[in-house]
Structure 1
């Protein structure tokens, strides 16, 4: 087996509230996007009189205590969360991270986005570019596939391409990263019968062979993007069953697929990626895997606050997944059922 240092990485990366603190589809700027993220990582309970009671004054990806619910699961995503109602207690936290997001100097048509307050903010987080730079310096083999439900892929791909041409003022050394950038997004559409990928004249489907898309993504070169199937996710009540598909083969130790998305959650009834694992060597029919099996192994739940505040955040996430993946593969090699793996 090749170790993590020699294994090729295929990074599937969400955009909104993962590497982009804005949402072009809903028209949310950084202020609103950061507010909506905070509703998903703040926790409380409904009191006996129907009032909302906070269980913790600190945001966290998971519930701080039994019985706590995220604000969004009870009240929905609120773009004004810290400006009215019970979310005001997180106003200072929101303001600090919004300030960290500010673009230094004059606005940039490619790398910055105009906020609701008229200020300019980073379009793609510096932590994303830092990840590319670090992997390149370590001479790692890797590719990046943006996976978004929205229509914001062309702008993100353009920013990535310009950065790799050495045009980003903070990361000029990215010109040395020899990764091609495909500016034309593809599409992934799901149904009960199959998953279909289209990109230009290319069309691949899983109906005859469930490995086709795994092989496609495993051999993907450079940086590209695909629009996933939001309506299918909604039809499946926003559960993993209707989520963005991801294929994992623990019998192929040369490739490590990692999906990074703020909507990945340990609750399979409320998560955004549909992980499918080829349990048997050479099998063309994967099994549906629970999020818990692959959490911090092939699935990363983005903490947007940390991604804004720490440029090494995504690099640390990848490192953690690589350490856990080695152990995950060791279980598979010993013929231990991988569904018994617990990386928590």
Structure 2
């Protein structure tokens, strides 16, 4: 576990070195620690194996170790595994999802340090020029616009934390639509299912500090929950219980859009409809199993075996999907998860 905590794995330049060192047939980077060395691919396979273990990994940990430490260890393994991914097969949005957990001495390197492994659409004619005299917000703005114009999507808005951005302040370093990638945090990748636009084309224009977006208002937010912990902590799951109490009372009530029980609709919102019935090609839980999982979460602290619960793969996936976010309900009674900046009246 101490090895997975080493900051070397979470440097932005380490990622690029590994990707470029393994590019091409027959090439493999070498990981060296002191006098010991191992082929990067062999090390990566070992970490991948640890990341995929469930009960076996749990039983190998010291008995006095809090169950949540298993999740934290898996989180570190997951980010080491992601060092193998990226490059020309990934969009800039996916690369920046992973880069949020990577540190660097200069905040501009959150973009400059990725240029060697960014996809061709971003490198070809990109407006991002390596110039360390420019302020980091300007570099981030250029990267945002270059990606958005090339893909005709605004998925990088998912990295904008409006809750921490004073949009009314004249002292704000950049417009609210420019992500602040300078912060290093272990954040879950935001999937397309969590975006208002999904994978649809976005219609927008840019003038100076103003980004104008054309869209259709479908609903108005009427109620907002507390924010889930942004890091993997015991209280991350506790907030799920709070959300259920706030928005699913009574649990046997009917969800207006589909006629399902509120409990069923609630768990479908948490797992983003990734059930066995709706995604038969994946090894996901079915709806009944998800509802049973929710009831186990609700019983945490009331006799539920926390160690066994944290060992479940879908628990880790659920935490990934909800942490740092809020639950909301619209005036029409619909609900779901949203970024921390969601407010009543939106």
Fold match (TM-score > 0.5): no
Task: Report which of the two has the higher share of strand.
Answer: 1
TM-score by length of 2: 0.27
Task: Report which of the two has the higher share of helix.
Answer: 2
Pair member with larger Rg? 2
TM-score by length of 1: 0.28
